[in-house]
Structure 1
Amino acid sequence: MTTALPPGSTIGILGGGQLGRMLSLAAAPLGLKCHIYSDVPGPAFDVAAASTVGAYEDTAKIRAFAESVDVVTYEFENVPLEAAAAAEAMTPVRPGPKALAVAQDRLEEKTFIRGIGIPVAPFAPVDSDASLEAAIHAIGETGILKTCRLGYDGKGQVRIKSASELKPAFESLKRAPCVLEGLVPFAYEVSVLVVRSISGEVRFYDLPLNTHKNGILDTSTVPSPISETHAARAKEMAAAIATALGYVGVLGVEMFYLGPDAAEPLVVNEIAPRVHNSGHWTMDACLVSQFENHIRAVAGWPLGPTGRHSDVTMTNLIGEDVDAWQALAAEPGAALHLYGKPEARPGRKMGHVNRVKPRS
């Protein structure tokens, strides 16, 4: 399928979380419907035109789901590759399974990015006792040991302060295949939100400055302090990754900014083959949000403008932060977005608030 899906078409989304919810809400004004497939009911079920509960391993059910929609996308990167392949046998899947395969494994991701000439932090595989010693020699005695798969929001990783801590850390991660990353002396973190169409056109949102709390994104602020020159370089790097993946949709690329005097001021941290938490500010500071542009891209529509009309700080509402919803709803200049999750657990993303002001 290379032509634009007409209004009335249905986009299938693998995953029923808050990103699927916001994608569904963005599709509706375009006259497009969304059908959610998830192993458990989630926030997206409340707003989508249709929903199916099924195991991601149930390839027959996945194929039936894919046959009922016009294109399939996903809202989280840990969709099993078998599920994506089963869907692709019936209808286009955007972005393609290659992006999933790369993003699901940190070692493969870093190897892929380095292989296309994009800087990443030093890394070495750790999957056995023998590789522990080799990793220390390659990276040094300090770093972060991360599981290759399934870690997110600070999970599945342990900071290493000396060589003696590496083996206990490996044991604490149940000896799962890991990667030891060297520490990067960065000034701050930014992210690039690039949207790529089926024809290969790329557009970018402004780079937000990201801060974290307990390993979870806390705020994303636009404008960020990065210079125009380095922002252009960051966009160039993100576009190269998206093009190498044959990507369609919104791709989030997290980067460390090392400062203007560094030999290479920007180093890629990781990629997310989906709409990204650090792009939630686009919902209220841009004419077309990251969610709408993802829908446009996977549906084959023209990409929308990515410029912003306002300055903004997005703040995640984690756990009990959501209890302040009444005060946030009354706050001037604040746009509140709640995800409809029934229980506010520690570390759980319950919503976000965009604090918007005129562009400076």
Structure 2
Amino acid sequence: MKVAVTGGAGYIGSHTVKLLRENGNKVLVIDNLYNGHQEAVPDDVTFIKCDIRNTENLKTIFNEFKPEAVIHFAAFIEVGESTKNPLAFYINNVSGTLSLLSAMEQTAVNRIIFSSTAAVYGNPKTVPIPETEPVKPINPYGQTKACVEKALKDISQFDNLSYVSLRYFNAAGADPSGLIGESHNPETHLIPLVLKTAKGEREQISIFGTDYPTPDGTCIRDYIHVNDLAKAHLLALEYLMSGGKSDIFNCGYGKGYSVREIIETAKKVTGRNFKVIEEERRQGDPAVLVADSSKLRKILNWNPEFDDLEFIIKTAWNWELNRRF
């Protein structure tokens, strides 16, 4: 298949591009490199530097490449930053996606896989969280993803568009090859921050809140290895290409680990001790976020291969020690 991947030079995007190529697909990466790294794009993949808000450029690209589907990763993702500069998130995440959808419509590209997030659930009442849980985001980042999901639903009902929205929980780890991995600036995700502390790049790691209603008092999250997440995109692509109807799927393992468990596992994997400090809770952090991924497993036949916290952290540590970018 011919697949255009927006944000394909980013963390999850680059791992998905690698898997797409390994499965014989022809891939075009579109990325403005605001958060992405061209070094993450395989040499045999065509790369075009372009902002998705430039509809005319996208039309030209699609007319030349003629993709059968688009996998759309390009977005701002930092929750904290979204509360400081919500307008930028709406312009990039919502307006950018509408620009992409407009270019797709005008070039007869009618399948899209959308990179969504568990942040659309806000503070869920049901855990593990099913896709039927009400969408009630509590920050601008989650709101922008919810806005796009609503647009996709509306457009697909009245236009020739098929979509799959994948709601990620906590992507983590790195490709075992060590060639690609997580590289954000600034880094805000727990596992890479913990490993940077183990590596000595940070003086300490903070635990924000130790009085949550969880076994050890710290927040619990569902960490999914990035390659298992990439596999979900490949299966979603095959699903749409075979005539599957538009749908939404959670992406997680259905179990969670606490902040303390992540820190202790990192110490075990790295063989290094480091300073841990306890701080007050952060506003808006739910106690537990764990996916009900039974729908993904049943409908897309998703069977994760890397559901092991030590393995996730080992691959992330390998990347941190030998990172290329």
Q: Normalization by structure 2: what TM-score?
A: 0.42
Q: Which has the higher strand share?
A: 1
Larger Rg: 1 or 2? 1
Q: Greater RCO between the two (CA within 8 Å, min separation 6)?
A: 2
Q: Normalization by structure 1: what TM-score?
A: 0.39
Q: Which has the higher helix share?
A: 2
